[in-house]
Amino acid sequence: MIEAGSLIRSLSGRHAARNFHSFVINEIGRAIVSGEFPVGSVLASDAVMMETYGVSRTVLREAVKTLEAKGLVEARPKVGTRVSPKSRWNFFDSQVLAWHFHAPPDRRFYENLFEVRAALELPAVTGAARHRTAEHVRLMKYWLHQAATSGDSIEQFGLACLEVHSLIAESSQNTLLRGVVGVVELLLAVALTRNSSTVSAYCEASVAGLEKVILAIEAGNVEDARAHLSTCLQLDHERILEGV
């Protein structure tokens, strides 16, 4: 599991401090999700990977266990470590989702992400309009202001918007709906790195849309909150899928 916001922070080249264990997990995980290590292929021997990544056998095996828990690989005696079919991958794992940022664009996968996002975030915004507190609304407005004043920093903008979406999920009082945060972060990262010449206009439109969502939540207006959030989703959908 990785901290929410780690993917967006990496857009500016700033990565969280890492140890050998997390380094190996990220290197192998990204290679699997990007197709460098195809489904069904057997990873190199322990000796080769220990030399490749400069780690001990213990670190390597712990990393493989973590990847196995995420459903990406299956380790078998006398066979080796084989990349599992995608049907076994845990796509709700935030790290597995983040690795897809480095994979070739896949329209069908993006469409699936938007379906899942709508299925989780629309009920979340419904719950937020019904159960929000004054503190939830204050924090949403604070982070929206941070997004609006982020200037040219897509990292600051993305992190602030992610906080708004996290607060929507949190204020719904349904902890399971927080599962949408990883999906939102991946889609935000993709949207913010699409077509740099239009990113400013996209950010302005996003802030305007989220402001309407927050005001509807504050007023307890469920229908308006859902309608304005749907408009935000459509904005992201059009930006990400354009030309894919």
Which CATH fold would you assign to the domain 6-88? Arc Repressor Mutant, subunit A (1.10.10)
- Is the predicted pLDDT of residue 226 greater than 80, yes or no? yes
Distance CA 136, CA 150 (A): 21
Q: State the average pLDDT for the chain.
A: 94
pLDDT 10s digits, 20-74: 889 999 999 999 999 999 999 999 999 999 999 999 999 999 999 999 999 999 9
pLDDT 10s digits, 122-146: 999 999 999 999 999 999 999 999 9
The pLDDT of 7-12, averaged and rounded, is 88
Give the domain ranges of the chain.
6-88, 105-241
The hierarchical CATH code for the domain 105-241 is 1.20.120.530
pLDDT 10s digits, 163-187: 999 999 999 999 999 999 999 999 9
In this structure, are residues 82 and 43 in contact, taking their beta carbons and an 8 Å threshold? yes
